[in-house]
Amino acid sequence: MTVLVDLIIKLFTFLLQSIGTIASFTPCTTYFDEPEVPEELTNAK
């Protein structure tokens, strides 16, 4: 019975650890919307 409880606890902690690892990644590290300023904005008067 304790083996079953330990297995459930390990599964639960692995699930929470995986969620925490995924949540720690920032999606903006490799994503750039527009690295250059458009010409319309630089020529605005």
Task: Give the residue among 10, 31, 30, 13 at the shortest CA–CA distance from 21.
Answer: 13
pLDDT score recorded for residue 44: 67
The secondary structure of residue 37, as a DSSP letter, is: -
Buried-exposed string 8-40: b where 16+ CB fall within 10 A, e elsewhere: eeeeeeeeeeeeeeeeeeeeeeeeeeeeeeeee
Half-sphere exposure of 8 (CA within 13 A, CB side): 5
What are the domain boundaries of the chain?
A: 2-42
- pLDDT one digit per residue (tens) for the chain, 45 residues: 899 999 999 999 999 999 999 888 776 666 666 567 777 777 766
Q: Which amino acid is at 6?
A: D
pLDDT score recorded for residue 24: 81
